[in-house]
């Protein structure tokens, strides 16, 4: 007999004579001649109640089943007599696949997020984390769905790289050199003897590769893991995170902003439509204002504000920020959150940032002082998207690289794209985990990643 998943059973219109489910015991209680077992198989937030009666051959063993044990249940799907659920299973057979000992760490009480991080291998078995990771899966699907419907091609950009896209130097080095005996040349590690014959790192962004493909296939996107060795132990930074990076040929900054706004709204709507039960858990137990926040985002027009105006607003705000603001400063989370949460009370797109705080590839504006960059800020998170129109003019980008002291030789292939059929093009990076934090109201990035990697922490 074929196994049915609980989410499918709960959607049945009428009862069924014979069903087989397999899952884990969440709770069990006994009455005089029955055992009521709540089973969950991970397919949905909801459990199904199994009624085992004392006529079953292994009834004595069933009565000893504890939380976490795995079972295979055959029976009849019938309308539930108790309240709270539509269906229950009247068991004809309960096979015990494995019994969990009493030391099973997930008991019925509510555990703290901090404790659950120490058992990241078991936490997806809780209601909250099961829901979070089902939503993560839906959201990943929604990304591909969104782009495919709009004719974007999906590009796999490399994870090992020889170039530093963001130029921030926050990269994880990849080497096969013997660290106890590194070959030295001129007081420096001699990477010519390393695996690739030169320095290699884990990528911080797929952008430079994506640009090459946008200039070939038109509209493309990457969606994959990226790595940053930033030593910032905050609730919104991870050392390994996923980024969605669309790149569009023949597209300026305004078109880039339009895509970012539309993408965020569509992805949120997708989860609202496809994961209502899981989302309801977060609205009930994690963030009471969640549905209002999400409604606000999908229905409002994002504010668009030049960086210069944003700085003026912050200066006049009368707030006492930890970090001072002024033209040329990199905005901190406190500034970003003030703008989106207090000032406009909806998402805001800041654009035209000072060139001095932005990477080499961003297009220089006519004022020579700013670049065509844009960040999208959302309530409770701050920056969720960072992007720009790219500098398509060879002389301008070369001058910028020289001024920044970059080695042009490393980027020879990138620069050739500005020589052969160069066109205006734009793109951005959307932090997948930050989006998940927004959608679920989960406030720490460690809790939306199956096995998070942060400074000093790489267990599991």
When asked if residue 245 is in the footprint of ligand 4AD (CB under 6 A), the reply is yes
Contact 202, 159 (CB under 8 A): yes
Residues found in the chain: 460
φ and ψ at residue 37, rounded to 5 degrees: -115, 125
H-assigned helices in 203-252: 207-217
- What residues from 431 to 460 belong to the interface with ligand 4AD (CB under 6 A)? 431, 433-434, 445
When asked if residue 243 is in the footprint of ligand 4AD (CB under 6 A), the reply is yes
User: Would you say 218 or 224 has its CB closer to Mg ion?
Assistant: 224
- What residues from 353 to 392 belong to the interface with ligand 4AD (CB under 6 A)? 383-387
User: Would you say 38 or 433 has its CB closer to Mg ion?
Assistant: 433
d(CA 339, CA 440): 22
Pick the binder of Mg ion from 382, 386, 431, 452 (CB under 5 A): 386
When asked if residue 227 is in the footprint of ligand 4AD (CB under 6 A), the reply is no
Which stretch in 143-151, 177-185, 238-246, 381-389 sits in contact with Mg ion by CB under 5 A?
381-389
Contacts with ligand 4AD: how many residues (CB under 6 A)? Answer: 23
Contact 101, 76 (CB under 8 A): no
Instruction: Please give the residue whose beta carbon sits closest to Mg ion in the complex.
Output: 386
The CA-atom distances, in angstroms, between 372 and each of 94, 307, 332, 355, 429 are: 64, 11, 20, 9, 15
User: Would you say 246 or 386 has its CB closer to Mg ion?
Assistant: 386
Q: How far is the CB of 334 from Mg ion (least distance, A)?
A: 16
Q: How far is the CB of 86 from ligand 4AD (least distance, A)?
A: 41
Q: How far is the CB of 363 from ligand 4AD (least distance, A)?
A: 12
When asked if residue 207 is in the footprint of ligand 4AD (CB under 6 A), the reply is yes
User: Would you say 40 or 388 has its CB closer to Mg ion?
Assistant: 388
- What residues from 338 to 357 belong to the interface with ligand 4AD (CB under 6 A)? none
Q: How far is the CB of 365 from ligand 4AD (least distance, A)?
A: 17
Q: Annotate 72-126 with DSSP letters as a single string.
A: EEEEEEEE-SSSS-SEEEEEEEEEEEEPPPTT-S--SSPPPHHHHHTTTTTGGGS
The CA-atom distances, in angstroms, between 228 and each of 111, 319, 346, 408 are: 30, 31, 29, 23
Contact 274, 282 (CB under 8 A): no
Q: CA angle, corner 451, sides to 445 and 452, nearest 5?
A: 40
Q: How far is the CB of 77 from Mg ion (least distance, A)?
A: 51
Pick the binder of ligand 4AD from 302, 351, 411, 428 (CB under 6 A): 428
SS3 175: coil
d(CA 293, CA 442): 13
d(CA 239, CA 237): 7
Pick the binder of ligand 4AD from 166, 194, 261, 391 (CB under 6 A): 166
Q: How far is the CB of 448 from ligand 4AD (least distance, A)?
A: 10
Contact 170, 226 (CB under 8 A): no
Place of tokens 């919104």: 236
**241 dihedral zone (left: phi>0; alpha: psi -120 to 50; beta):** beta
Q: How far is the CB of 381 from ligand 4AD (least distance, A)?
A: 8
Q: List the single partner that 340 binds among Mg ion, ligand 4AD, none, CB under 5 to 8 Å by kind.
A: none
User: Would you say 191 or 414 has its CB closer to ligand 4AD?
Assistant: 414
User: Would you say 330 or 367 has its CB closer to ligand 4AD?
Assistant: 330
Contact 205, 226 (CB under 8 A): yes
Q: List the single partner that 19 binds among Mg ion, ligand 4AD, none, CB under 5 to 8 Å by kind.
A: none
Which stretch in 234-242, 275-283, 386-394, 452-460 sits in contact with Mg ion by CB under 5 A?
386-394
User: Would you say 79 or 328 has its CB closer to ligand 4AD?
Assistant: 328
Which stretch in 194-202, 222-230, 382-390, 433-441 sits in contact with Mg ion by CB under 5 A?
382-390
When asked if residue 237 is in the footprint of ligand 4AD (CB under 6 A), the reply is yes
Reference 238, options 386, 434, 384; nearest CA is 434
φ and ψ at residue 26, rounded to 5 degrees: -90, -50
User: Which residues contribute to the site for Mg ion (CB under 5 A)?
Assistant: 386
Residues contributing to the site for ligand 4AD (CB under 6 A): 165-166, 205, 207, 228, 230, 237-238, 241, 243, 245, 383-387, 427-429, 431, 433-434, 445
């Amino acid at each position: 007999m074929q196994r049915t998943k609980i989410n499918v059973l709960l959607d049945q219109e009428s009862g069924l004579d014979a069903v087989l489910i397999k899952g884990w015991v969440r709770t069990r209680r006994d009455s005089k001649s029955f055992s009521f077992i709540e089973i969950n198989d991970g397919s949905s937030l909801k459990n199904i109640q199994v009624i085992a009666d004392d006529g079953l051959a292994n009834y004595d063993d069933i009565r000893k089943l504890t939380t976490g044990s795995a079972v295979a249940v055959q029976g009849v799907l019938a309308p539930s007599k108790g309240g709270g659920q539509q269906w229950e299973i009247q068991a004809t057979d309960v096979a015990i696949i494995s019994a969990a000992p009493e030391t099973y760490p997930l008991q019925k009480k509510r555990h703290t997020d901090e404790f659950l991080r120490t058992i990241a291998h078991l936490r997806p078995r809780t209601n909250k984390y099961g829901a979070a990771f089902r939503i993560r899966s839906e959201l990943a699907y929604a990304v591909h769905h969104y782009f495919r419907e709009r004719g974007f091609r999906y590009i796999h950009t490399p994870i090992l790289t020889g170039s530093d896209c963001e130029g921030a130097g926050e990269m994880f080095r990849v080497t096969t050199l013997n660290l106890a005996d590194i070959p030295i040349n001129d007081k420096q590690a001699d990477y010519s003897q390393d695996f690739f014959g030169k320095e290699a790192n884990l990528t911080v962004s797929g952008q430079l590769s994506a640009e090459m493909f946008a200039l070939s296939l038109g509209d493309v996107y990457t969606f994959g893991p990226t790595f940053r060795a930033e030593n910032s132990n905050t609730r919104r930074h991870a050392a390994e995170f996923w980024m969605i990076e669309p790149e569009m040929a023949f597209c300026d900054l305004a078109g880039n902003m339009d895509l970012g706004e539309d993408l965020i709204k569509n992805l949120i709507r997708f989860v609202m439509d496809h994961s209502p039960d899981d989302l309801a858990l977060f609205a009930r137990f994690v963030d009471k204002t969640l549905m209002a926040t999400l409604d606000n985002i999908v229905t409002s027009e994002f504010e668009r504000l030049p960086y210069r105006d944003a700085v003026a607003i912050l200066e006049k705000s009368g707030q006492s920020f930890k970090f001072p603001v002024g033209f040329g400063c990199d905005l901190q989370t406190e500034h970003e959150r003030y703008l989106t949460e207090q000032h406009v009370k909806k998402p805001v797109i800041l654009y035209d940032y000072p060139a001095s705080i932005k990477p080499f590839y961003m297009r220089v504006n006519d004022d020579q002082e700013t670049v065509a960059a844009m960040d999208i800020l959302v309530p409770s998170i701050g920056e969720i998207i960072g992007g720009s129109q790219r500098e398509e003019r060879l002389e301008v980008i070369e001058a910028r690289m020289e001024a920044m002291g970059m080695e042009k030789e490393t980027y020879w292939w990138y620069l050739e794209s500005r020589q052969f059929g160069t066109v205006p093009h734009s793109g951005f990076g959307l932090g997948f985990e930050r989006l998940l934090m927004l959608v679920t109201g989960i406030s720490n990035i460690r809790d939306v990643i199956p096995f998070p990697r942060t400074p000093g922490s790489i267990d599991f």
